[in-house]
Chains A and B, each alone.
Chain A
């Protein structure tokens, strides 16, 4: 037993060999969603009842946590017109079953959930989102080094590679060779530790000090050149017309960067009539890069040009979101660099914006 004066609240140690036991216990008590290799060599966040399928040594998942709380499409309500002309509506069924533990997301993914909490948490709160989100426990895994070359969380200043309390996790696991340092972020996290108290041992200051070492050593792997506030200022100040024009010519409007983006929150709604008088209202992911996103009745479009829409996208992520929520709309996960079919991604954009007046793709993920 370590002496009392060095012990600290809210930090625990978990032996590596106990992770398996923890996973097994969690699967019994909760629904568990974790990174798993999928058919086709990708990793995906997926539900599993077999702890053997979980792989925490992954580079990046091809899906994001967004789709669990804000699915690509969901039923808002079902409706039926009655004979007397009235309409009966029934809220869409809640398909998010039971308390769910998300174990294995990285810092950038957790920050994205935090961001979406900000958006969907504005009054009036979005009930479809929160009825899922409230049932979730987020256990994040900090990065000891960047998992792939397309990572750039350090640019965005507010995410990884190692998170601080209040940045979105319920629990954070930090890999310290033989064991994990487990940091409690919220009451949910505290209860979780209590539940599996046998596996966790209270940590001490000496061990906690290693957290910042891990962070420091991970940061060394990045070529950190930009501070997000500089990017913010640069967007505000200069006339970027030419750059937007250039990007407008490049983008082919697939919407992929927005669909894959873990923070993008735009959706459209549509009433689908399945049979006469009976149907549902759905909401589904939308993208501000589409002309139809802001075209008004009559055909007028305040964002007619592709360059206008591109500029709106980057302004939203790197400027407006900060003004609205105090956090930036990019967590540096870098997924936009592997979905973009015209090599137009956030990291390349930032590098181009800060270095030159022309767009130069970094071509990191081909």
Chain B
């Protein structure tokens, strides 16, 4: 008998729903949910194949303990004993802040809640973070300071009704294909699409204007658009007057960004700038969609606030099909932020340094809690030796943090490392204990997607023998350390989250079963959830303009390293590739790493299409194949980052945004030459 379990896709942050088809405990495939409001029957190629990795023979099936540099299979009790012994020892010798917990945007909300509770209540440290740091930490920081809430202002299903969509630093047809579908549908219905991207991407074929800017010049470009809008008096004066503050400073700052000046810095022809500014300001409602091309810069937070400025100048916030919408990259990166897997907040963005908040959690959790915010991922890896014990749940930091060599030196200097994962990965190689975790198909819980939508994840098969869901593992370790979390099921965890976090007050499994999903804020049982944020007023009251000047990337190209290297995601792979590269159909499409280079640059350097080249930066070098085309502008090269055997992040720069601590993945100086 084939059973069909409705669940949420484990890949990007769109949150598509499908049925996992299971026969006798074996997953046969997926059927998309036709009536689901997020995907309406659509899935991308990853979604259609989101099951192949689940039972892959490479899955870790036994705890592994490192002895004399080699991993040996061990029992769960033996692995736990070793972990507990080392946590106790290192905590006693160095204090709780020598411990660092890295949670996972791949895990459920309930698991993230348990993991941050484990860090705070059991280990006694706020050193808890996760990979949102490397994707949308600037969105949380930037949108919070501009609007008062760090999440997407609008919902995915509103996009087809926009009259104009500005897509910047985002490749939705590849990285968020079902949002890409909404954008394309808007286009098919006559909307104007403005694309800002140095590369020709799928959406270039459907954009009315393509602004091919140099990586790292976003603020200049956006200030340039605002300059034109104000010059032509296309701003929304009423909106600015009634709902915002700080406009005069902004006006002063953007004065400098005349089209000629902007053209010089961004390389975008001035006529295109003027056209784009006019279209965006005149077509209402206009929506802004962005992702990591905006955030992964040393000016990431400023980039985000500049987008907020642009939206407010034209009154495109707080109404349907408008707004500023970060496309979240992982299935539950919104949720893991929401759950407080961050060093400065508990669940529901409640500040750990606020005494009243802390007291509330202390009472509920029956324990004293640390009162100072903890370290971010980037800070934990700032210098070797800073963290003595890493507890890493399903994140491959070696693969995904910038400058892999530096990350490795931090791991090597740590005294003890615990890793949970489905597969052996770069980071796990440095672990002392590896615990075999269960995948999304093997557990109950919820994910929150890019538009704040909390949706169920349902168990379709039992956990593979001897593997356990991450939440269960962490609760067992906590128990052995003397801190007991006694949840009978995921639903009980959600009840506690709702009880302690005002923005989730009305969320329960009962409602999720009945209503399908809930969009936070959802403060009480009768609240329907929130589709559009900032409708009557901004969460912070008035929307705040930040007057921001252009600042280039930390590392600029020079004679020795004449190219700008920028990196990104591809359609057929997902992040560190541990799952998609183990999926037959996906890995067949793009089995190996490559670098995109402009035809003229390639000719000058005598590089042929598909020939081997060496790409190097001040931090490392890789030999990979070249893809020569005009899909990228001259002077810039692009690489995906999915390949563990040719790790793109050995090249990227570990320079960080001072506010959000995100690394600068999107621009560093590089050299390309034919391989010797």
Contacts and interface: CB of A to CB of B under 8 A. Distances in A.
Contact of B19 (A44, A71, A95, A366): A44
A274 interface: yes
Contacts of A273: 57
Interface in A250-297: 250, 252-256, 259-260, 268, 270, 272-275, 279, 284-287, 290-292, 295
B59 to A, nearest CB: 11
B48 A256 contact: yes
Given A44-B4, A342-B184, A363-B188, A254 B35 contact: no
B160 A366 contact: yes
B4 A275 contact: no
Interface in A96-114: 97
A255 B45 contact: yes
Interface stretch (A35-43, A125-133, A221-229): A35-43
A72 B29 contact: yes
Contact of A343 (B21, B41, B57, B181): B181
Contacts of B28: 67, 71-74
Contact of A252 (B19, B41, B174, B516): B174
Contacts of B610: 299
Interface in B166-220: 173-174, 177-178, 180-181, 184-185, 188-189, 202, 205
B1 A47 contact: yes
Contacts of A38: 4, 6, 19
B486 interface: no
Contacts of A272: 57
A252 B4 contact: no
Contacts of B40: 338, 365-366
Contacts of A62: 19, 31-34, 41
Interface string A148-191: 00000000000000000000000000000000000000000000
B659 interface: no
Contacts of B160: 366
B372 to A, nearest CB: 44
A46 interface: yes
B205 A250 contact: yes
B589 A292 contact: yes
A63 interface: yes
Contacts of A54: none
B2 interface: yes
B588 interface: yes
A60 B189 CA distance: 25
A339 interface: yes
Contacts of A286: 585
Contact of A292 (B47, B180, B588): B588
B17 interface: yes
Given A42-B35, A73-B29, A95-B24, A292 B585 contact: yes
Given A254-B45, A292-B585, A366-B185, A72 B21 contact: yes
A341 interface: yes
B585 A256 contact: no
Nearest to B23: A95
A284 B55 CA distance: 15
Contacts of A10: none
A268 B610 CA distance: 27
A254 B205 contact: no
Contacts of B44: 252, 254, 341
Nearest to B33: A40
Question: Which interface class (under 10, 10 to 19, 20 to 34, 35 or more) fits B?
Answer: 35 or more
A39 B457 CA distance: 13
Contacts of B180: 252, 341-342
A361 interface: yes
Contacts of B29: 67, 71-73, 259, 284-285
B6 A39 contact: yes
B571 interface: yes
Nearest to B205: A249
A275 B585 CA distance: 22
A341 B177 contact: yes
A250 B180 CA distance: 11
A41 B34 CA distance: 8
Contacts of B276: none
A191 to B, nearest CB: 25
Contacts of B588: 290, 292, 295
A42 B589 CA distance: 31
A44 B6 CA distance: 11
A93 B23 CA distance: 12
Contacts of B484: none
B178 A341 contact: yes
A273 B582 CA distance: 13
A40 B188 contact: no
A249 B42 CA distance: 18
Interface in A47-100: 47, 60, 62-63, 67-68, 71-74, 95, 97
Contacts of B188: 343, 361, 363
Interface string B456-474: 0000000000000000000
B589 A339 contact: no
B4 A46 contact: yes
A310 B585 CA distance: 18
A268 B177 CA distance: 25
B364 interface: no
Nearest to A49: B1
B51 to A, nearest CB: 9
Interface of A: 38-42, 44, 46-47, 60, 62-63, 67-68, 71-74, 95, 97, 249-250, 252-256, 259-260, 268, 270, 272-275, 279, 284-287, 290-292, 295, 299, 338-343, 361, 363, 365-366
Closest A-B pairs by Cβ, 4 of them:
A72-B29, A292-B588, A338-B41, A341-B181
5 contacts: A252-B180, A259-B29, A275-B57, A338-B34, A363-B188
Given A40-B17, A40-B35, A259-B48, 15 more contacts: A41-B516, A42-B19, A42-B35, A46-B2, A63-B19, A63-B31, A74-B28, A249-B205, A252-B45, A260-B31, A295-B588, A299-B610, A342-B180, A343-B188, A366-B185
